[in-house]
Amino acid sequence: MINVVGVKQEVPARRSWTKRRDAKAERLTGMKDIASGKVIPTGRIVEALESLIVPGDRVSLEGNNQKQASFLSAALNQVSPEQIYDLHMIMSSISRPEHLDIFEKGIAKKVDFAYAGPQSLRIAQMLEDGKVKMGEIHTYLELYSRLFVDLIPSVALVAADKADNEGNLYTGPNTEETPTLVEATAFRDGIVIAQVNELVDELPRVDIPGSWIDFVCVADKPYELEPLFTRDPRHITDLQILLGMMVIKGIYERHEVQSLNHGIGYNTAAIELLLPTYGEQLGLRGKICKHWASNPHPTLIPAIESGWVESIHCFGGEVGMEDYVRARPDVFFTGKDGSMRSNRTLSQLAGQYAVDLFLGSTLQMDQYGNSSTVTSGRLAGFGGAPNMGHDPRGRRHSTPAWLNMMTSDEPLARGRKLVVQVIETFQTGNTPVIVESLDAIDVGRNAELATTPVMIYGDDVTHVVTEEGIAYLYKTTNMEERREAVAAVAGVTPVGLQHDPKRTDQLRQKGIIAFPEDLGIRRTDAKRSLLAAKSVEELVEWSGGLYNPPAKFRSW
Amino acid sequence: MINVVGVKQEVPARRSWTKRRDAKAERLTGMKDIASGKVIPTGRIVEALESLIVPGDRVSLEGNNQKQASFLSAALNQVSPEQIYDLHMIMSSISRPEHLDIFEKGIAKKVDFAYAGPQSLRIAQMLEDGKVKMGEIHTYLELYSRLFVDLIPSVALVAADKADNEGNLYTGPNTEETPTLVEATAFRDGIVIAQVNELVDELPRVDIPGSWIDFVCVADKPYELEPLFTRDPRHITDLQILLGMMVIKGIYERHEVQSLNHGIGYNTAAIELLLPTYGEQLGLRGKICKHWASNPHPTLIPAIESGWVESIHCFGGEVGMEDYVRARPDVFFTGKDGSMRSNRTLSQLAGQYAVDLFLGSTLQMDQYGNSSTVTSGRLAGFGGAPNMGHDPRGRRHSTPAWLNMMTSDEPLARGRKLVVQVIETFQTGNTPVIVESLDAIDVGRNAELATTPVMIYGDDVTHVVTEEGIAYLYKTTNMEERREAVAAVAGVTPVGLQHDPKRTDQLRQKGIIAFPEDLGIRRTDAKRSLLAAKSVEELVEWSGGLYNPPAKFRSW
């Protein structure tokens, strides 16, 4: 130890620098009788987990919002809580009942997550009852990045389509977050266990190298996969078509939006299905919506077939779209075997930094444009929306749409990302969507979160679109004007009713508000007949029979 | 084609959906006589490039700021400009003369890049002379993300340590951006060519699967690798030690900064070398600076050895640190073969989203805290600084430091990332660093950039540290107060001289400014004797002989 002049220095005891590696080696010894090489027999998975996991471990369990390591989560739910307890779970999505059952049983104690859609009521209740210790709520991308900093896992439980005996993995179209979870764990002497649908001699392609994987186990049934991004055009309303027309004319055309991400919902499905019809009438093909960071939405099929789309990079796959994607390699990312390559981390990155626009919906928006899907009693998490729905201030390259957001000619002025919220002012059941103040404030307080769980902050929102019109929030110059602009399109919600019609006229004249008629759109033209496909059956027809919708979407 | 009621619809001609795949297959036919399987003989690389690349191609050429695909860039510089011309180059770093020579020869025409440090004067001149068509200047992360959206490459030229005959690659400690460049190209039917230092039968581990790689070629000499992150402690001045003490006491301790990224420079080297001495005196071990997203800086060795550092995830490797990193797997990410795993994309992501603080320096800062390394006649690009040096508004999780930046108790208030600029008010040669207005404005105008090339925007900066003191900019409430806070620590620069001393007193009382004495730091204590290592030789000693510095840093 170097002697530092004038400074008292404690000489640390000789320490080991291979504690993690040694701990792993020790855990692996118990596996000699259980696994054959890297392969764990299906029936011995619970035993294997009990051998490989120790109390207090940080366990990364793959639960994307689509692909679920469902065999491994079920197995984890069967380990002995006397042997394995107090786990710190990292799950991008809390989707399945056993994701929370393990907390009821004491197997797990603390959770860091990004999304809890299907379990949002139950987790809120469990938090209140003290059955779950909350880590933090993240977006996908920040959760992934913490896996390399201060949430490095001891164990990763992931899912793949196929493995070979060396542990090489084929994830096929549903690569999603698997490589990222594996990389964070494998390169810090953690233990990586992959469930696979089958074990084969030769893989169609290698998505994750075997030297990153410790064990594979053939699942009792294929991993669960949710068709989360499929919307049946049958349910798209005339109102949603009006919203879609306004978006195409008043935002995509006006700002020359060439690359984008669409959140999930009927509003975005409507826009996608209007491109080959209304968009074509406006002569916009080749000018807007060319590059996408999104899942392979079935409702994009007509736009793809009509030559609108140059490229789509996908977060994950979509059930039923496999053959269609395989037949359209000029549009989608595909591997040498012909099947799609997705990558949730890189697609979120693209959705953050590389696209002109994010467009999404919300359950609640306050009078300043702040929005949240966290409403009373529900802790839904954020998923990817806040990551894509903000102005990435680290961006330095420009595009026409980005530059179009500049409202100043100061020398240091810059463009910004377009963040569009499309909402109908009322939900079904007469609940106003635009409110004075977000429910999320109380939910956050009750769950003792450090900050209110806001999905998208109002100062990141550039446009709000309702059935009343478009508020061009990026043109507002202060909070009061922003509030007035939101109120002007808030309809007969309490926020809207307080608005002074004279102010609305002024805002229209300043170009801060546009009504459909200001955009040259007749409300009476907004009809379902404008949709390029009016049903799932018609989507199949557009695809030339290549799209193979899940049973629940088949009505013919 | 479905008939859409009421809408005229042009029926597109039957089109091919496999244009990219077909084009690739055609290019590959010419390789039958040149390559043996996936292996291109070293002497035939120019011929191979002429066979695989066509005019106008978008070519991604690996030039990280450290690892360079130098054999391939030299080969590209030798292709016939009559056969191959007008390439659109994508290079994260323009580092080598041939990176620009290819433009002089007409082989390439347009460039998208992130950093041009060593070639910054020449590229500015070539732009002015119309010899290069400028795409955009990016941060690394946004350039990578565009590879999946609107800058998808036709060809990728990358570098790895070793390959086997199936094209599997071992990148070892210098994985850097290689997997990202390859993924974007391989999964869009582009052509991936990797130069390798050697061809072996069995790889130590697989970093990139062979099914992603089309060709490998053994280079005539190992790829170039720059020891960019090595700073000799011998050159650290007393002034830099004072700055480092202020940072540790006035920022890291005060805000409880647990995870961070340090930019490159003597200021950051000083801080790293003060942790085991001054930081230890303050009792901060285990409380601050535990998790790092950074390169394996040799000046971090004493802090690591003293037990300060729990984890470091690295962008890339550092020449000479290989054995040391291999012996410290509890701190660094390492593979099964024992060598380090870096990943520039994931580390930039961690540096953006997962750490509390970014600390860097700049060549010029204006009176509002805007800064740029683009100064007169130099188009240096941005590298990674703007990505890490901004408040990532998509972040939703909290840490003590992040929450510590909250200045309001409004229900929707949030924390922010700490972005610290450490500067000496004058450069050598009496050039003021703090100026009224950035040179970058003129440079941007002359190069006809769409916006001024600002490195870090003032409204993202939370702290400015100079030899005068610390300006806590996050506490300022408007532009005028921010300007005054910058001026108060601007010393005898023109900006500093205009400042009213009475205002300084008020700002001190409000806690917006702190001088060393306010922090309990005596300027006379800031001595080189405080450094845990005062030379490269002492770093080697700290490392127990494991650090093996490059020849140019050996003075003993």
CA gap A170, A210 in Å, rounded: 10
Q: In what order do the strands lie in the sheet with B513-514?
A: B311-313, B291-293, B259-262, B357-360, B418-422, B463-465, B470-471, B513-514
DSSP state of A371: E
Q: CA-CA distance, B146 to B188, in Å (whole number)?
A: 14
Q: Is A290 on the interface with B (CB under 8 A)?
A: yes
Widest distance between CA atoms in chain B: 85
pLDDT for B6: 41
Q: Looking at residue A13, what is its pLDDT?
A: 56
Check CB contact under 8 Å for B259 and A150: yes
State how far the Cα of B73 lies from the Cα of A393, in Å rounded to an integer: 33
- pLDDT value of position B482: 97
Closest CB to A311 among B139, B144, B152 = B152
CA-nearest residue to A276 within chain B is: B9
Cβ atoms of A374 and A385 closer than 8 Å: no
For chain A, percent of residues with pLDDT exceeding 90: 89
**What tokens appear for B137 in the block?**
């200047």
List C-alpha distances in Å: B125 to A299, B104, B175, B445: 49, 12, 33, 14
ipTM: 0.96
A478: tokens are 């202060």
Distance CA B181, CA A259 (A): 20
Chain A interface, best mutation among B336, B349, B371, B457, by max A CB count within 10 A: B349
Distance from B502 to chain A by nearest Cα, in Å?
30
Q: Does B365 touch chain A (CB under 8 A)?
A: no
Which two structure tokens, joined as six digits, stand for A136? 């933090």
CATH architecture of B35-225: 3-Layer(aba) Sandwich (3.40)
Averaged pLDDT for residues A484-505: 95
Task: For residue A37, give both structure tokens.
Answer: 């090489």
Contacts 24+ apart (CB under 8 A), B466-469: B466/B243, B466/B422, B466/B423, B466/B424, B466/B425, B466/B434, B466/B490, B466/B491, B467/B239, B467/B242, B467/B243, B467/B424, B467/B425, B467/B491, B468/B425, B468/B496, B468/B515, B469/B246, B469/B513, B469/B514, B469/B515, B469/B516, B469/B518
Residues of B in contact with A188 (CB under 8 A): 311, 329, 333-334
pLDDT tens profile B270-306 = 999 999 999 999 999 999 999 999 999 999 999 999 9
A218 in B contact zone (CB under 8 Å) = no
Helices (H), B300-365: 301-305, 322-326, 344-349
Retrieve residue A307's tokens.
Answer: 């030559």
- pLDDT one-digit tens code per residue, A275-327: 999 999 999 999 999 999 999 999 999 999 999 999 999 999 999 999 999 99
* A8 pLDDT more than 70: no
B486: left (phi over 0), alpha (psi -120 to 50) or beta: alpha
Query: In this complex, do A210 and B210 lie within 8 Å of one another by their Cβ atoms?
Result: no
DSSP B132: S
Enumerate residues 433 to 472 of chain B having a beta carbon within 8 A of any beta carbon in chain A: 437-438, 441, 450-454, 457, 460
Alpha-carbon gap, residue A206 to B167, rounded angstroms: 12
Contact status of B202 with chain A (Cβ, < 8 Å): no
Find out whether A2 and B538 touch, Cβ atoms under 8 Å: yes
Q: How far apart are CA B221 and CA B74, in angstroms?
A: 12
Three-class SS of A299-349? HHHHHHHCCCCCEEECCCCCCCCHHHHHCCCCCECECCCCCECCCHHHHHH
Q: Does B258 touch chain A (CB under 8 A)?
A: yes
Beta strands in B320-417 (DSSP E): 357-360, 364-366, 371-372
Task: Return the domain boundaries, chain A.
Answer: 20-225, 233-539
Q: Give one DSSP letter per residue of A434-492, joined into a string.
A: EESS-THHHHHHHTT-SS---SB-GGG--EEEETTEEE-GGG--SHHHHHHHHHHT-TT
Per the document, the length of chain A is: 556
Residue A410 above 70 pLDDT?
A: yes
Mean pLDDT on A249-269: 96
Mean of the pLDDT values across residues B502-519? 97
User: Other C-beta atoms within 10 Å of A274: how many?
Assistant: 29
Nearest CB among B4, B334, B386 relative to A394 is that of B386
A5: nearest CA partner in chain B: B529
Structure tokens at A128: 């209140």
Q: Give strand ranges (E) for B467-533.
A: 470-471, 513-514
Per-residue confidence (pLDDT) for residue B289, from 0 to 100: 98
Element at B505 (helix H, strand E): helix B501-509
Asked if residues B193 and B158 have their Cβ atoms less than 8 Å apart, the reply is: yes
pLDDT in tens, B393-435: 999 999 999 999 999 999 999 999 999 999 999 988 789 999 9
Q: Is 50 exceeded by the pLDDT of residue B377?
A: yes
From 3.40.640.10, 3.40.1080.10, 2.60.40.420, 3.40.50.300, which CATH number describes the A20-225 domain? 3.40.1080.10
Query: What string of H, E and C letters represents the secondary structure of A97-161?
Result: HHHHHHHHCCCEEEEEEEECHHHHHHHHHHHHCCCCEEEEECCHHHHHHHCCCCCCCCEEEEEEE
Q: Cβ of A280 under 8 Å from any chain B Cβ? A: yes
Structure tokens that stand for A292 in this block: 């996408």
pLDDT at A4 over 80: no
CA A367 from chain centre, in angstroms, equals 25
Average pLDDT over residues A336-363: 96
CB proximity A353 to B under 8 Å: yes
Mention every residue, 6+ apart, whose C-beta is less than 8 A from residue B544: none
Quote the Cα angle for B67-B73-B78, to 5°: 160
The amino acid occupying position A370 is: N
Whole-angstrom Cα distance, residue B418 to residue B413? Answer: 16
Same CATH fold assignment for domains A20-225 and A233-539? yes
Task: Judge whether B358 is closer than 8 Å to chain A, CB to CB.
Answer: no
Q: Which of A127, A60, A11, A1 is nearest to A448 (CA)?
A: A127
Write the CB contacts of B520 (distance below 8 Å, at least 6 apart in sequence): B249
| Residue B533 sits at the chain A interface (C-beta within 8 Å) | yes
Q: Is B25 on the interface with A (CB under 8 A)?
A: no
Name the average pLDDT for chain B: 95
Contact B331 A17 (CB under 8 A): yes
**What are phi and psi for residue B538, nearest 5 degrees?**
-70, -30
Helices B120-128 and B97-104, interaxial angle, to 10°? 10
Which region, left, alpha or beta, applies to residue A168 given φ > 0 means left and ψ of -120 to 50 means alpha? beta
**Burial (CB count <10 Å: 0-12, 13-18, 19+), residue A450:** middle
Token pair for residue B33? Answer: 């006589």
Nearby residues of A88 by Cβ (< 8 Å), 6 or more positions away: A56, A57, A58, A59, A108, A109, A110, A111, A112, A135
Q: What is the pLDDT of residue A64?
A: 79
* CA atoms of A456 and A371, how far apart (whole Å): 5
Q: What is the pLDDT of residues B81-129, one digit of tens each?
A: 999 999 999 999 999 999 999 999 999 999 999 999 889 999 989 998 9
pLDDT, tens only, A103-112: 999 999 999 9
* Percent above pLDDT 70 for chain B: 98
CATH architecture of B233-539: 3-Layer(aba) Sandwich (3.40)
Identify the helix (H) or strand (E) that includes residue B170. strand B169-170
Chosen from B187, B294, B337, B534 to mutate, greatest number of chain A CBs within 10 A: B187
pLDDT digits (tens, 9 = 90+) for A176-213: 999 999 999 999 999 999 999 999 999 999 999 999 99
Number of Cβ atoms within 10 Å of the Cβ of B256 = 16
- Angle at which helix B238-247 crosses helix B266-274, to 10 degrees, equals 60
Residue B470, exposed/middle/buried by CB under 10 A (0-12, 13-18, 19+)?
A: buried
Gyration radius of chain B over CA positions: 25
- B161 vs B86: CA distance, rounded Å: 30
Per residue in B1-31, pLDDT (tens digit) is 444 444 444 445 578 999 999 999 999 999 9
Other residues' Cβ atoms within 10 Å of the Cβ of residue B72: 26
**Out of A137, A327, A346, whose CB is closest to B397?**
A137
User: Does B295 contact A at CB distance below 8 Å?
Assistant: no
